[in-house]
Amino acid sequence: MTDKVFKKSINKQFEFDEEVASVFDDMLNRSVPYYKEMQRLTINFALNFLEENDKVFDLGCSTASTLIELNKSCKFNLDLNGIDNSPAMLKRALSKCKAFGVDINLIEKDIFDCDMTNAKLIISNYTLQFIRPLQREKLIKKINESLNDKGIFIFSEKVISNNNILNKQCIDEYYSFKKEQGYSEFEISQKREALENVLIPYTEEENIKMIKDAGFSHCETLFKWVNFATFIAIK
Protein backbone atom coordinates (compact mmCIF):
# COMPACT_ATOMS: atom_id res chain seq x y z
CA MET A 1 0.00 0.00 0.00
CA THR A 2 1.07 3.59 -0.65
CA ASP A 3 2.07 5.72 2.33
CA LYS A 4 -0.58 8.42 2.83
CA VAL A 5 -0.39 8.55 6.65
CA PHE A 6 0.60 12.21 6.82
CA LYS A 7 -1.72 13.57 4.17
CA LYS A 8 -4.11 14.45 6.99
CA SER A 9 -3.48 16.45 10.15
CA ILE A 10 -1.76 14.44 12.88
CA ASN A 11 -2.27 15.34 16.54
CA LYS A 12 -0.06 12.70 18.14
CA GLN A 13 3.57 11.60 18.22
CA PHE A 14 4.79 9.06 15.70
CA GLU A 15 4.10 5.45 16.64
CA PHE A 16 4.29 2.09 14.88
CA ASP A 17 0.56 1.45 14.94
CA GLU A 18 -1.74 -0.35 12.51
CA GLU A 19 -1.94 2.64 10.16
CA VAL A 20 1.84 2.95 9.88
CA ALA A 21 2.36 -0.82 9.67
CA SER A 22 -0.03 -1.11 6.73
CA VAL A 23 2.18 1.16 4.57
CA PHE A 24 5.53 0.66 6.28
CA ASP A 25 7.43 -0.98 3.42
CA ASP A 26 6.46 1.84 1.06
CA MET A 27 7.29 4.41 3.76
CA LEU A 28 10.77 2.95 4.19
CA ASN A 29 11.58 2.88 0.49
CA ARG A 30 10.36 6.44 -0.05
CA SER A 31 11.63 7.97 3.21
CA VAL A 32 15.06 6.36 3.64
CA PRO A 33 17.55 7.13 0.86
CA TYR A 34 19.20 4.02 -0.62
CA TYR A 35 17.36 1.74 1.80
CA LYS A 36 17.67 -1.27 -0.52
CA GLU A 37 21.39 -0.63 -0.97
CA MET A 38 21.85 -0.42 2.80
CA GLN A 39 19.96 -3.69 3.17
CA ARG A 40 22.09 -5.33 0.46
CA LEU A 41 25.32 -4.23 2.18
CA THR A 42 24.05 -5.45 5.55
CA ILE A 43 23.36 -8.89 4.12
CA ASN A 44 26.56 -9.15 2.09
CA PHE A 45 28.81 -8.21 5.01
CA ALA A 46 26.85 -10.44 7.39
CA LEU A 47 27.31 -13.45 5.12
CA ASN A 48 31.09 -13.09 5.42
CA PHE A 49 30.79 -13.90 9.13
CA LEU A 50 27.90 -16.34 9.30
CA GLU A 51 28.04 -20.15 9.39
CA GLU A 52 25.50 -22.99 9.48
CA ASN A 53 22.83 -22.61 12.22
CA ASP A 54 24.22 -19.32 13.55
CA LYS A 55 21.74 -17.33 15.62
CA VAL A 56 20.62 -13.99 14.15
CA PHE A 57 18.48 -11.27 15.73
CA ASP A 58 16.87 -8.25 14.07
CA LEU A 59 15.94 -5.61 16.67
CA GLY A 60 12.84 -3.72 15.65
CA CYS A 61 12.37 -6.10 12.74
CA SER A 62 9.12 -4.39 11.59
CA THR A 63 7.79 -6.44 8.65
CA ALA A 64 10.86 -8.77 8.66
CA SER A 65 12.11 -7.62 5.24
CA THR A 66 15.81 -7.79 6.15
CA LEU A 67 15.59 -11.28 7.66
CA ILE A 68 13.62 -12.52 4.66
CA GLU A 69 16.23 -11.13 2.26
CA LEU A 70 19.03 -12.61 4.37
CA ASN A 71 17.36 -16.02 4.20
CA LYS A 72 16.97 -15.73 0.42
CA SER A 73 20.67 -14.85 0.03
CA CYS A 74 22.04 -17.53 2.37
CA LYS A 75 22.84 -21.04 1.11
CA PHE A 76 22.72 -22.64 4.56
CA ASN A 77 20.31 -22.66 7.50
CA LEU A 78 20.25 -19.85 10.05
CA ASP A 79 18.38 -19.44 13.33
CA LEU A 80 16.47 -16.27 12.44
CA ASN A 81 14.77 -14.18 15.13
CA GLY A 82 12.85 -10.93 14.70
CA ILE A 83 12.02 -8.78 17.72
CA ASP A 84 9.43 -6.00 17.70
CA ASN A 85 7.02 -4.53 20.26
CA SER A 86 4.42 -3.63 17.63
CA PRO A 87 1.73 -6.30 17.13
CA ALA A 88 0.68 -4.62 13.88
CA MET A 89 4.20 -4.91 12.45
CA LEU A 90 4.57 -8.54 13.47
CA LYS A 91 1.20 -9.41 11.97
CA ARG A 92 2.49 -8.23 8.58
CA ALA A 93 5.85 -9.88 9.19
CA LEU A 94 4.10 -13.21 9.75
CA SER A 95 2.11 -12.85 6.52
CA LYS A 96 5.29 -12.10 4.55
CA CYS A 97 7.15 -15.03 6.13
CA LYS A 98 4.34 -17.37 5.09
CA ALA A 99 4.23 -15.89 1.59
CA PHE A 100 8.00 -16.36 1.10
CA GLY A 101 8.15 -19.69 2.94
CA VAL A 102 10.69 -18.39 5.44
CA ASP A 103 10.94 -19.77 9.00
CA ILE A 104 11.51 -16.79 11.31
CA ASN A 105 10.89 -16.76 15.05
CA LEU A 106 8.89 -13.54 15.55
CA ILE A 107 9.02 -12.22 19.11
CA GLU A 108 6.63 -9.58 20.43
CA LYS A 109 8.63 -8.11 23.29
CA ASP A 110 10.57 -5.10 24.45
CA ILE A 111 14.16 -5.44 23.24
CA PHE A 112 15.47 -5.18 26.80
CA ASP A 113 13.40 -8.20 27.88
CA CYS A 114 14.68 -10.54 25.16
CA ASP A 115 17.36 -13.17 25.62
CA MET A 116 19.79 -12.87 22.71
CA THR A 117 22.50 -15.09 24.19
CA ASN A 118 24.92 -16.76 21.75
CA ALA A 119 23.98 -14.52 18.84
CA LYS A 120 26.44 -14.38 15.96
CA LEU A 121 24.75 -11.44 14.25
CA ILE A 122 22.50 -8.70 15.60
CA ILE A 123 20.90 -6.22 13.20
CA SER A 124 19.23 -2.91 14.00
CA ASN A 125 17.86 -0.84 11.13
CA TYR A 126 16.85 2.65 12.25
CA THR A 127 15.78 1.38 15.67
CA LEU A 128 18.32 2.79 18.15
CA GLN A 129 17.32 6.35 17.27
CA PHE A 130 13.91 5.73 18.87
CA ILE A 131 15.47 4.69 22.20
CA ARG A 132 16.31 7.33 24.80
CA PRO A 133 20.08 8.02 25.03
CA LEU A 134 20.71 6.53 28.49
CA GLN A 135 18.74 3.41 27.62
CA ARG A 136 20.45 3.26 24.22
CA GLU A 137 23.87 2.89 25.82
CA LYS A 138 22.54 0.11 28.07
CA LEU A 139 21.15 -1.69 25.03
CA ILE A 140 24.48 -1.52 23.19
CA LYS A 141 26.17 -3.10 26.20
CA LYS A 142 23.53 -5.84 26.23
CA ILE A 143 24.11 -6.44 22.51
CA ASN A 144 27.85 -6.76 23.07
CA GLU A 145 27.34 -9.19 25.95
CA SER A 146 24.86 -11.27 23.90
CA LEU A 147 27.17 -11.77 20.92
CA ASN A 148 29.56 -14.68 20.57
CA ASP A 149 33.26 -13.93 20.30
CA LYS A 150 33.86 -12.16 16.95
CA GLY A 151 30.12 -11.73 16.57
CA ILE A 152 28.95 -8.67 14.66
CA PHE A 153 26.44 -5.89 15.08
CA ILE A 154 25.26 -4.10 11.94
CA PHE A 155 23.06 -1.08 12.41
CA SER A 156 21.73 1.86 10.42
CA GLU A 157 20.80 5.23 11.87
CA LYS A 158 19.81 8.73 10.93
CA VAL A 159 22.72 10.97 11.93
CA ILE A 160 23.31 14.67 12.51
CA SER A 161 26.31 16.95 11.97
CA ASN A 162 28.16 18.90 14.65
CA ASN A 163 28.34 21.77 12.19
CA ASN A 164 25.11 23.80 12.21
CA ILE A 165 25.53 24.99 8.62
CA LEU A 166 26.19 21.49 7.27
CA ASN A 167 23.41 20.05 9.39
CA LYS A 168 20.93 22.50 7.87
CA GLN A 169 22.16 21.63 4.38
CA CYS A 170 21.79 17.91 5.13
CA ILE A 171 18.19 18.45 6.25
CA ASP A 172 17.43 20.47 3.12
CA GLU A 173 18.95 17.78 0.91
CA TYR A 174 16.87 15.11 2.63
CA TYR A 175 13.67 17.10 2.22
CA SER A 176 14.45 17.48 -1.49
CA PHE A 177 14.81 13.71 -1.66
CA LYS A 178 11.39 13.21 -0.03
CA LYS A 179 9.77 15.64 -2.44
CA GLU A 180 11.25 13.64 -5.33
CA GLN A 181 9.56 10.56 -3.85
CA GLY A 182 6.18 12.26 -4.12
CA TYR A 183 5.73 13.56 -0.59
CA SER A 184 4.14 17.02 -0.30
CA GLU A 185 5.42 19.89 1.87
CA PHE A 186 2.47 19.26 4.18
CA GLU A 187 3.27 15.55 4.59
CA ILE A 188 6.94 16.29 5.26
CA SER A 189 6.04 18.92 7.85
CA GLN A 190 3.48 16.66 9.53
CA LYS A 191 5.92 13.77 9.86
CA ARG A 192 8.67 16.05 11.17
CA GLU A 193 6.36 17.28 13.92
CA ALA A 194 5.20 13.76 14.77
CA LEU A 195 8.81 12.59 15.13
CA GLU A 196 9.95 15.52 17.25
CA ASN A 197 11.30 14.26 20.60
CA VAL A 198 10.61 10.68 19.46
CA LEU A 199 13.53 10.20 17.05
CA ILE A 200 16.79 11.38 18.66
CA PRO A 201 19.78 10.98 16.31
CA TYR A 202 23.48 10.99 17.23
CA THR A 203 26.40 12.17 15.15
CA GLU A 204 28.40 9.55 13.27
CA GLU A 205 31.22 10.00 15.80
CA GLU A 206 28.87 9.62 18.78
CA ASN A 207 27.53 6.34 17.40
CA ILE A 208 31.02 4.92 16.97
CA LYS A 209 32.11 6.10 20.44
CA MET A 210 29.00 4.52 22.00
CA ILE A 211 29.86 1.20 20.33
CA LYS A 212 33.49 1.22 21.45
CA ASP A 213 32.56 2.31 24.98
CA ALA A 214 30.33 -0.78 25.18
CA GLY A 215 33.35 -3.02 24.58
CA PHE A 216 33.34 -3.70 20.83
CA SER A 217 36.83 -4.10 19.38
CA HIS A 218 36.08 -2.31 16.12
CA CYS A 219 33.42 -0.12 14.52
CA GLU A 220 33.30 1.74 11.24
CA THR A 221 30.90 3.23 8.73
CA LEU A 222 29.97 0.96 5.81
CA PHE A 223 27.74 3.38 3.98
CA LYS A 224 26.60 6.98 4.29
CA TRP A 225 24.28 9.25 2.36
CA VAL A 226 24.08 12.78 3.79
CA ASN A 227 22.38 12.13 7.17
CA PHE A 228 21.82 8.37 6.94
CA ALA A 229 24.54 5.86 7.82
CA THR A 230 25.15 2.12 8.19
CA PHE A 231 27.77 0.84 10.67
CA ILE A 232 29.41 -2.49 11.37
CA ALA A 233 30.82 -3.40 14.80
CA ILE A 234 32.88 -6.47 15.67
CA LYS A 235 33.02 -7.87 19.18
Q: What is the CATH number of the domain that holds 208?
A: 3.40.50.150
Do residues 102 and 71 touch, judged by C-beta distance below 8 A?
yes
Q: What residues make up the domain containing 90?
A: 14-234
Determine the Cα–Cα distance for residues 9 and 215; give it in Å rounded to an integer.
Answer: 44
What is the predicted pLDDT for the residue at 14?
47
Name the pLDDT band for 138 (thresholds 50, 70, 90): very high
Does residue 11 register a pLDDT over 70? Answer: no
What is the predicted pLDDT for the residue at 10?
55
Render pLDDT for 148-199 as a digit per residue (tens, 0 to 9): 999 999 999 999 999 999 999 999 999 898 888 777 676 766 666 666 667 8
Average pLDDT of every residue of the chain: 88
Do residues 27 and 49 touch, judged by C-beta distance below 8 A?
no
Q: Using DSSP, state whether 110 is helix, strand or coil.
A: coil
Does residue 141 register a pLDDT over 90? Answer: yes
**Is the residue at 193 inside a domain?**
yes
Helix (H) or strand (E) holding 176: helix 164-180
Cβ contacts of residue 124 below 8 Å, gap of 6+? 58, 59, 60, 143, 153, 154, 155, 156
**Is the residue at 4 inside a domain?**
no
**Is the residue at 5 inside a domain?**
no
**Is the residue at 67 inside a domain?**
yes
**Is the residue at 210 inside a domain?**
yes
Dihedral of alpha carbons 162, 168, 173, 175, sign = positive
Render pLDDT for 73-117 as a digit per residue (tens, 0 to 9): 999 999 999 999 989 889 999 999 999 999 999 999 999 999 999
Give the rounded percent of residues in the chain with a pLDDT score beyond 90.
70
What is the predicted pLDDT for the residue at 196?
60
Number of folded domains that form the chain: 1
CA distances from 15 to 68, 114, 132, 196 (A): 24, 21, 15, 12
**Is the residue at 2 inside a domain?**
no
What is the predicted pLDDT for the residue at 178?
86
**Is the residue at 195 inside a domain?**
yes
**Is the residue at 206 inside a domain?**
yes
Half-sphere exposure of 135 (CA within 13 A, CB side): 11
CA angle 12, 176, 15 (to 5 degrees): 20
